[in-house]
Amino acid sequence: RELGDMEGSRRSIISFLTLLVAAISPGVQCASSDSWVTPQTAGKMTHVMTLPREIVQATPSACPWDEPGLVAWAPPSGAAPDYTLPANSKVLIDADATVGNVVIPTDSELVFANADVELNAASISVLGKLRIGSRTCRFGSTKTAHITLTGAASDPAASSALHKGIVASGSGSVEMYGALRQPTWTRLATTAAAGDTTIVLYECVEWAAGDVLLITTTHAEDHRRHNRNEKRTISAVECDERTVEGATRSFGKVTLASALSYSHYAARGEYQAEVALLSRNVVVRGDATSVPTDAQPANTICADTKRSDVPCAPSYTCEVGGTPSSNCGPYYLTGHGGHLMAGDSSTAKISSVEFHRMGRTNEVGRYPVHLHMLGTGGVDSFVSDCSVHESYYRAFVVHSTNNTLVTRNVAYDVIGHAFYLESGEEEANEISFNLGSHVHPIGFAEDMTGQNTNDEFQEDASHPAVIPADVAASPFYFSNLQNNITGNAVAGGGFAGFTMVGFRKVINGGSFTPSDYVPEDRPTMEDGFYGNSCRSVGWFWNLAPCFYVGGMLYEDAGDSNKLKYVPARVTSSSDKRHPKSIVDGTDTWNIFVNSRAALCPVANGDWNVRGRWYNVDVVDIGDRSMNAFGEQSFRNVYLKCRTDNTDGTATMSPATTLHEKMWPDMKFKGFRSYDTGQKHLVEDWVVDCGSQASPLMDTYEIRRAQIWSFPHGVNINQHQIIFRNITYVDAPDQKKLFSYDVGSKDTYSTYYMTFSDADGSMTLRRENNNKPCAPTIAGTAGMIHSVSSGGDSDDLIHLPANMWYKLTGLDQAISRGTNTADDRCALHTESEYPFWLCDQGKVNVGSFMPVPNNQDSRDSKKEFGRLTHWGDTIAQGVPMSGQAQVTGPFEHSKRGGWFIRFYQSGDNSASTAAPKKLEIDKVQLAAEKQVLMIATEYPSGTTFAITRKYGSGSGDVYTYTAASSVEEVRGDDAGTTYFFDDTYLYLRLFPSGDKHEYFVDGPIWVPNRKGGRETTVEATWSSGSGCGTDNWCPLTSPADPPARDVGVVENPMTVVETAACPTQSTLWPLRLQASSSSSSSGSDSGSGSGSPPSEDKKDDKKDDKKDDKKDDKK
């Protein structure tokens, strides 16, 4: 109850209130015709939390200004004199004053009277205490206290930490408690139109006439040149009761002193404009000299080819009044505001204070509110219910400080990152229920299109940011995820919304972390990233996410430890986040729960190793919902590609670039996977995009709107993505539903693209075939033109469909048929890249890389062999490139296998040959009892030495022996035999080190793909082969692939029954337990669905334990 005791059990109280709000907010959608939004109807898959409110003591007590022994404020005479308070005294200031540098000695206090007081000071050094109100006696609501910090950038003392600052050091203490106006921010209950003078909020508020509000933008575009955020003064406030959904609910009704200039959107289940209180009755501000003198002229336009009407960069061309100019900025570098810092062993207890014209651009350490290197002593400090606006460098900064609280604050119109964890070692802090809006980069990250792999920025003539990460400034910037990040909101501005940047090591930090401490490997706290929302960010980058786990800031040891920043994708594994348990250092996941994203190019972006995203609302996206690498789970997602907020998605700047056009042209993709090396689980989605997608062009322009998109470049994707329980509000036609999105049409990767649909819901085969469950495997069937001949983008002449992904007959003793559709498989030729959709049965998808004679990086755009199923012809199979990762369907426990043919020379089938050395790399199998057989041709009389590594030790090697038949190899679960019938070498493949590892989340799973070249075949040519000592032995009359029935074993096989298919799960509440009904399945379940292999339950149980706690919280 005593939420006012901020020094006490604040975290347990907020956790309780969070639980309480969730308990009374079941997320049930309303049937009422009234469209007003309540917290219970604000989200679809998410619970929208209102801000916890502090219980203010009804009768003030222990007021600082009433304490005995107070002495009068008595500075020396003269103009703005320096003033050191008397030792061991409590000095009361009760009238306006102008002084120079103020020193509050140890054991002394400066106390503000409960009166209208303005103190103008060059600096305040707090070694004792600075007090304005107290926890039990807040500063009077009808009074105003101002501290105006004075000084210009040209002052001789400008480089001093005290200059224009309130600085607590030693054991000093800053205590400021303004009058509370709760909540500090909330949301609209209904759209406010341009011209409106009244706004409706979805809760009552304690605001008052004369207070200044911020009504945030609901436009996709937000920056200085396109600012639709509005500040307004309140004329009146009332609480409006209405009957909604059969119950009486209270709404806040605020009358504004002047009409709105723009519309601000609010709709149920989508998003609602945030409305924040900017004014407070305790104000700390910079003087008039604080304002930047280098603002961008209103008539300056950047005429670059990448973006239009955005902040300029020196490398671009600009125009001033229509005339080309060489002065493109950068601008806004001269802001010289005040700052407040608590360092050493000091404390800062700051509640309901307004900070205006604060921060000094590009001066590290000079921020509006700065908790500086307090170490674990951060528990004695907090910042709550404050506002920072018109800040010239950041807003709220936690630097090498742990266990502190930053809650219910508002940051608006900020240069550089706003809410900022600085050095990477900050942990166990609570950053909760804050609002960040209209954040500006320092300089400009030009040419940000696509992945911008490894592009670096550093401070130089073109990029003025001292901390180069500010070139991509965001409202929230977290260098360490081991913090409680709950209930925060982003509403406009910034490179991204929540930037969770990678640090290899602590940068400019304290001394309380060990030397081997890796910030980027610290995982999210349990339930630590919960209930956050983001909107209207990322205008400067077409792949900017609302929630961004990416980018890297590091000190370059080879360049004098200069700071460098990679804002986009890093490719080196060592530069990516590898979340590790803080208990035992084992692999774990970053987990993000209950997140809302809207009006951003990408909702969630994670270019790292492991992450789980649970309960996400994605609305009005520009490019795609998720952009992720590694082991990623996306569960309980509501995706609405376009809302009725057509004003917010219209491009106000001239739409000249792909990024700008994607909003009005609806060039979105609901979900777009990456081409290779991923493990993605996509489950329990509701998709409402079908009728909103732009019509596809007659020329098969697949880069228009699609719901699901599967690309390839030069890489071959593996068995890496599986879908389950997808529901469409308005199902699109097949061409809009999904496509293979091919970026490079001159490689062979397109032949291997595949995904699994665990229940047939994503591909609509469940509904279209009128089945309760229809597990499906999808795979490409051919290309529109040959690789070597090129072709036009709208060429509709398909090559004949191959049969690689046609599953008919692979797991049954029936005919394979032809390359046409049948009862099991549908062939879709209406798409640019034709594909098969087949009932899965017992077939799985696997992959591996055959490496002949150490040649693993030959030309990816030439054909170096063929791959086909036993019993099929070579022509019915698929080509292999010089980078011969292969992926495909298999079920060889009874019959069949894959046949591999190698070419010694690219695009030359006449060079068919057998390799002297053949290595098998990164075998990916879906279960320990699944069988993948391969065969390849060798000349008569060849002998073999075959080994397989099963561990890291030099002796951890199996040595193969010759078997007497293919049946014996097929049934060899130990994997130590081979068979050579004087034409074909037969092998059964096994994953790395005999380890069957999986990425599991609930009832679906994807096998890992790891290891190295662990199986090695060394061939010795016979003396009569004519091969000599060459590494290749030509096969002048190559044999056809083996028959499908070679080496058939007797154990009968059956197709998976429908009853074994996972049932649909409830969308809310979220259920993750593997033991739940949704994950019960027979042991013969198809690839990627049902119960994962028993030997891999350890991780599953660990995750279940966490998930149980999540359910308890909800």
pLDDT at 697 over 70: no
637 token code pair: 């997602």
Out of 82-86, 418-422, 778-782, least confident range: 778-782
Nearest CA to 647 among 667, 663, 625? 663
Q: Are strands 173-177 and 347-351 parallel, antiparallel or unpaired?
A: parallel
SS3 content of the chain, % helix, strand, coil (to 5): 10, 35, 55
The closest alpha carbon to 566, from 618, 666, 499, 490, belongs to 499
Task: Report the share of the chain in percent with pLDDT over 90.
Answer: 62
Q: What angle do CA 357, 363, 369 make, to 5 degrees?
A: 50
Closest CA to 92 of 75, 104, 109: 109
- Amino acid letter, 442: I
Instruction: Provide the pLDDT for residue 1072.
Output: 33
Can you give the pLDDT at residue 322?
A: 67
Top mean-pLDDT range of 271-280, 769-778, 984-993, 1041-1050: 271-280
C-alpha pair distances (Å), 572 with each of 478, 578, 605, 1105 = 21, 12, 17, 32
**247-256 and 230-244: which strand pairing?**
antiparallel
Q: Quick one: pLDDT band at residue 670, thresholds 50, 70, 90? A: confident
- Tell me the three state secondary structure of residue 606: strand
Tokens of 123: 């600096």
* pLDDT beyond 50 at 1108: no
The residue-averaged pLDDT of 745-752 equals 78
- What gap in Å lies between CA 204 and CA 169, rounded to an integer? 40
Contact 1093, 996 (CB under 8 A): yes
* Mean pLDDT score, 903-916: 95
Per residue in 985-1009, pLDDT (tens digit) is 999 999 876 566 788 887 888 888 8
Nearest to 657 by CA among 446, 449, 494: 449
What average pLDDT does this structure show over 678-699? 73
CA-CA distances (angstroms) from residue 610 to 451, 589, 629? 19, 5, 8
CA distance 311 to 540: 9
Rounded to 5 degrees, what angle do the CA atoms 431, 434, 435 make? 145
What integer pLDDT is reported at residue 1065 of this predicted model?
A: 53
3-state SS assignment for residue 662: coil
pLDDT at 342: 98
Question: What is the per-residue DSSP string for 1031-1064?
Answer: SEEE-SSPPPPPPTTTT--SS---PPPGGGSPPP
SS3 946: strand
* DSSP string of 763-815, one letter each residue: TTHHHHTT-S---EEEEE---SS-TTT---TT---PPPP-STT--TTTSSSS-
Structure tokens belonging to residue 523: 């995982």
The Cα 131–Cα 8 span in angstroms is 20
Question: Above 80 in pLDDT, residue 601?
Answer: yes
Residues of the chain with pLDDT > 70: what percent?
83
Residue closest to 308 by CA, chosen among 599, 649, 539, 491: 539
1027 burial (CB, 10 Å; 0-12 / 13-18 / 19+) is buried
Residues in contact with 16: Cβ distance below 8 Å, sequence separation at least 6, in sequence order: none
How many whole angstroms separate alpha carbon 672 and alpha carbon 742?
12
Decide if 687 contacts 707 (C-beta within 8 A).
yes
Over range 176-189, report the average pLDDT. Answer: 97
Mean pLDDT over 975-983 rounds to: 96
Q: For the chain, give the mean pLDDT.
A: 85
- Which pLDDT value is given to residue 237? 98
Q: Nearest Cα to 926, choosing from 810, 1044, 1083, 806?
A: 1083
Query: Residue 252: its pLDDT value, please?
Result: 97
Q: Where is average pLDDT lowest: 134-143, 571-580, 1087-1096?
A: 1087-1096
Q: Quote the CA–CA distance of 942 and 725 in Å, as a whole number.
A: 51
Cβ atoms of residues 897 and 931 within 8 Å = no
Q: Is 124 helix (H, G, I), strand (E, B) or coil?
A: strand
Buried b or exposed e, range 490-514, using 16+ CB within 10 angstroms: bbbbbbbbbbbbbbbbbbebbeebe
Q: For residue 778, what pLDDT is reported?
A: 95
Region of poorest pLDDT, from 232-241, 256-265, 439-448, 1084-1093: 1084-1093
Per-residue pLDDT band at 24 (split at 50, 70, 90): very low
Looking at residue 140, the DSSP 8-state letter turns out to be P
Mean pLDDT, residues 36-65 taken together? 92
Cα distance between residue 804 and residue 781, in whole Å? 7
Q: What is the pLDDT of residues 397-441, one digit of tens each?
A: 999 999 999 999 999 999 999 999 999 999 999 999 999 999 999
864 phi and psi, to 5 degrees? -120, 25
Across residues 969-998, what is the average pLDDT? 88
Of 554, 569, 585, 287, residue with least CA distance to 424 = 554
Q: Which residues contact 997 (CB under 8 A, 6 or more apart)?
A: 991, 1007, 1008, 1010, 1096
From residue 27, alpha-carbon distances to 43, 321, 395, 725 in Å are 7, 52, 33, 19
Mean pLDDT over 366-385 rounds to: 97
Q: What is the mean pLDDT of residues 4-10?
A: 41
Distance of CA 535 to CAs 50, 183, 210, 481, Å? 17, 20, 28, 21
- The torsion region of residue 46 among left (phi > 0), alpha (psi -120 to 50) and beta comes to beta
Span 892-919, average pLDDT:
95
Among candidate residues 669, 668, 680, 770, the one with its CA nearest the CA of residue 723: 680
Q: How many residues would you count in the chain?
A: 1114
Q: What is the pLDDT of residues 608-655, one digit of tens each?
A: 899 999 999 999 998 889 998 889 999 999 999 889 998 888 765 555
Q: What average pLDDT does the segment 491-507 reach? A: 94
The answer to whether residues 1090 and 1062 touch, using CB atoms and an 8 Å cutoff, is: yes
CA distance 307 to 315: 13
pLDDT band at 13 (very low <50, low <70, confident <90, very high): very low
pLDDT of residue 33: 33
| Amino acid found at 509 | G
Regarding beta strands 212-215 and 274-277, do their DSSP bridges make them parallel or antiparallel, or are they unpaired? antiparallel
State mean pLDDT over 453-473. 89
Note the pLDDT of residue 1076: 28
C-alpha distances out from residue 274 to 526, 535, 589, 625, 807, Å:
28, 10, 31, 22, 52
Strongest mean pLDDT among 32-46, 666-680, 962-976, 994-1008: 962-976
* Residue 629 and residue 675 in contact, taking contact as beta carbons nearer than 8 Å: no
CA-wise closest residue to 1084 among 778, 755, 811: 811
Are residues 588 and 506 in contact, defined by beta-carbon separation less than 8 angstroms? no
pLDDT per residue as tens digits for the range 710-726 = 877 667 778 889 999 99
Whether the predicted pLDDT of 575 surpasses 90: no
Q: In sequence order, what are the beta bridge partners of 76?
A: none
Q: Indicate if the pLDDT at residue 785 is higher than 50.
A: no
The stretch 72-78 carries a mean pLDDT of 95
The residue that leads in pLDDT, 833 or 396, is: 396
Residue that wins the pLDDT comparison between 148 and 1007: 148
CA distance 480 to 524: 8
Distance of alpha carbon 1098 from alpha carbon 1114, whole angstroms:
25
Listed in order, strand segments (DSSP E) in 330-479 are: 339-342, 347-351, 354-356, 369-375, 382-384, 387-391, 396-401, 405-407, 410-415, 419-421, 430-432, 435-440, 476-478
Give yes or no for a contact between 401 and 267, defined as CB atoms under 8 angstroms apart.
Answer: no
Using 50, 70 and 90 to split pLDDT, how confident is the model at 751? confident
Burial per residue of 858-878, b for 16 or more beta-carbon CB atoms within 10 angstroms, e otherwise: bebbbbbbbbbbbbbebebbb
**Predicted pLDDT of residue 836:** 95
Q: Is the peptide bond before 297 cis (omega within 30 degrees of 0)?
A: no
Provide CB contacts within 8 A for 628, sequence distance 6+.
Answer: 604, 605, 606, 607, 611, 634, 674, 678, 680
Q: pTM of this prediction? A: 0.90
